[in-house]
Amino acid sequence: MPDIVIVGGGIVGLCTAYYLAANPAALPSNTHVTLLENVSVACGASSRAAGFIGGGPAWHKEANQDLARLSWECFEQLARQLDGPNTYGYRHCSVTGLRVGAGQDAMSSYRQLPTGTLPLAQKGEARQPWYRGDHVNLDTSGLAAQLDPAQFCSTLHAEVTRLGVRTIIAQPLRRRGKVIETTEGDVAYDKLLIAAGPWSADLCTLLNIPRVPVGSLPGHHIVLKPGTLPAGYDSVPAEAVMAGVGGSGSSDDLAATVTAGGQSNDLSAAERQQGWTQTIEFFPRPDGTVYAAGENNVPNLIGDATIDGRENRLPLTGRYVHRLVDQDLVQRMLRSSAAVSPALDVNNGAELVKADLCYRPVTADTMPLIGEWQRDVFVCAGHGPWGITLAPGSGVVMAELIATDLTRDDVKLSADISGLSPHRFRAAKL
Ligand SMILES: Cc1cc2nc3c(=O)[nH]c(=O)nc-3n(C[C@H](O)[C@H](O)[C@H](O)COP(=O)(O)OP(=O)(O)OC[C@H]3O[C@@H](n4cnc5c(N)ncnc54)[C@H](O)[C@@H]3O)c2cc1C
């Protein structure tokens, strides 16, 4: 009986498993779908991401836009089917671009942002914004939403399990023909999907498959419980805020900004020296907390320098990533949060609930690899800052590709992924 094995239990692997299992009619009878994960389901960025969904075309390069359209449709349908608002905090949101301090043009250093559509510092709003600075509406498409990615992944995992997908938690060791030897025994496949996020290239090496061109980009995040909110607010609203903080990079700018906003956060000389996070994104969540992401640096190592024997690089597995959190970078993010809103100032009643780190899977052109890599081996990885947004659409087309006889000329997919071939970098030396 045909076996489909998906290696990697992040959001991309889960969504592919879901769309395979939810459409059994598209598969030969008695097809088995197995999810092979080496740590725990969604232990990487898929459970630690902000959970922002940018469904409108303006957020994406052209080759990603149809996938974003399909993903948005899937999210809306899944929310109805799986009670998204209650099970994983799915809700539509507005998106604001914010500039705190002078001269910072870019509001995001790693994400394409739509051009703002309303004048900065609008007049006539019903209540004062919960942040300081000049702001602009970044999304008029109405196709922006957010969810709790950890809850989404656990909901989807429960659903795929109910639909008959088998999950194996084991470390793959090597490949023998169409059998993967793992620490828990052999796993045979007819079709194999590489969906191991930033670990996808290493997984290929392990399985003696040509490495897929996927790298990794770390990103820190913090979760804050706000202190006192401005008048008129019971909680921080469903408004994602992409902020550029400060100006020339001189630490005096931040102090000037904060003071100009009517409040000083009393930075010490040492703190001024350390600076702050210049581009930072805020995502208020339905539970009242605010998730902030920024600092996409390779972190300093703690302790005596190596994790899993590697220096300053992606750890061998997702198990130890949290040990790499760089407290200096966390302090920088806290300082920027305070500059953006007094309600997010830990010296003014806000509480730091969590500080964490995870790795994005990235490619040289910032778009994912989706397709057949070699005969019966597929890849779906490299979604960069858009892995949550694009996962359901990727799962749909991946399931279609796996279920289809690709030697036929009339292969029809639900989204145009012609610009996302995993072979597009072959000519270029990476
Ligand atoms: C701070 C931050 C915030 C983000 N916010 C957003 C956001 O708001 N919206 C958005 O769209 N995107 C966001 N992203 C990006 C998004 O999180 C990622 O693109 C996405 O989670 C990638 O999913 P994945 O399934 O490809 O990889 P991962 O989540 O990394 O999953 C890969 C899985 O494979 C497993 N694995 C690895 N090696 C092996 C092996 N050898 N054998 C078996 N299993 C293996 C891992 O343990 C892991 O569970 C954010 C990223 C970061 C870093």
Is the Cβ–Cβ distance between 3 and 178 less than 8 Å? no
Amino acid at 253: D
Any atom of ligand 1 within 6 Å of the Cβ of 370: no
Query: What is the 3-state composition of the chain as percent helix, strand, coil, each rounded to the nearest 5?
Result: 30, 25, 45
Any atom of ligand 1 within 6 Å of the Cβ of 393: no
Q: Can you spell out the DSSP letters for 291-351?
A: EEEE--SPPPPPTTSEETTEESS--SSGGGGGGG--HHHHHHHHHHHHHH-GGG-GGGT-E
**What pLDDT is recorded for position 290?**
98
Any atom of ligand 1 within 6 Å of the Cβ of 360: yes
Task: Tell me, in angstroms, the distance from the centre of ligand 1 to residue 8's CA.
Answer: 9
> Which of 67, 223, 316, 358 to mutate to test ligand 1, by most ligand atoms within 8 A of the CB atom?
358
Any atom of ligand 1 within 6 Å of the Cβ of 194: no
Atom of ligand 1 nearest to the CA of 390: 11
If you take atom 2 of ligand 1, which residue's CA is the nearest one?
49
If you take atom 14 of ligand 1, which residue's CA is the nearest one?
385
**What pLDDT is recorded for position 110?**
52
Structure tokens at 311: 């220096």
Atom of ligand 1 nearest to the CA of 36: 43
Structure tokens at 269: 């000389």
d(CA 231, CA 227): 12
**Tokens 């279609």, located at residue:** 400
For the CA atoms of 14, 195, 65, 98, the dihedral, rounded to the nearest 10 degrees, stands at 80
**What pLDDT is recorded for position 2?**
81
Instruction: Tell me if domain 3-82+148-214+364-420 and domain 92-142+217-360 are identical in fold.
Output: no
pLDDT (tens place) for every residue of the chain, 430 residues total: 689 999 999 999 999 999 999 998 888 888 999 999 999 999 999 999 999 999 999 999 999 999 999 999 999 999 999 999 999 999 999 999 888 864 444 455 555 666 555 444 454 556 789 998 888 888 888 999 999 999 999 999 999 999 999 999 999 999 999 999 999 999 999 999 999 999 999 999 999 999 999 988 888 999 999 999 998 899 999 999 998 887 544 444 444 443 333 333 333 444 445 477 778 899 999 999 999 998 776 544 433 344 444 444 677 777 877 777 888 889 889 989 998 999 999 999 999 999 999 989 989 898 999 999 999 999 999 999 999 999 999 999 999 999 987 666 667 899 999 999 999 987 554 4
Task: Tell me, in angstroms, the distance from the centre of ligand 1 to residue 197's CA.
Answer: 5
Task: Tell me, in angstroms, the distance from the centre of ligand 1 to residue 216's CA.
Answer: 10
Fold observed for domain 92-142+217-360: D-Amino Acid Oxidase; Chain A, domain 2 (3.30.9)
Comparing CA positions, the residue from 100, 15, 81, 93 lying closest to residue 52 is 93
Strands 191-194, 185-188: pairing kind: unpaired
If you take atom 9 of ligand 1, which residue's CA is the nearest one?
52
d(CA 141, CA 333): 29
Task: Tell me, in angstroms, the distance from the centre of ligand 1 to residue 47's CA.
Answer: 8
Any atom of ligand 1 within 6 Å of the Cβ of 55: no
CATH architecture of the domain with residue range 3-82+148-214+364-420: 3-Layer(bba) Sandwich (3.50)
Strands 91-92, 94-100: pairing kind: unpaired
Task: Tell me, in angstroms, the distance from the centre of ligand 1 to residue 74's CA.
Answer: 19
Atom of ligand 1 nearest to the CA of 41: 49
Cα torsion 360, 364, 365, 371: sign:
negative
Instruction: List the domain boundaries for the chain.
Output: 3-82+148-214+364-420, 92-142+217-360
Structure tokens at 291: 């998730």
Task: Tell me, in angstroms, the distance from the centre of ligand 1 to residue 162's CA.
Answer: 23
If you take atom 27 of ligand 1, which residue's CA is the nearest one?
197
Task: Tell me, in angstroms, the distance from the centre of ligand 1 to residue 248's CA.
Answer: 33
Give strand pairing partners of 169: 37
Comparing CA positions, the residue from 360, 260, 329, 408 lying closest to residue 49 is 360
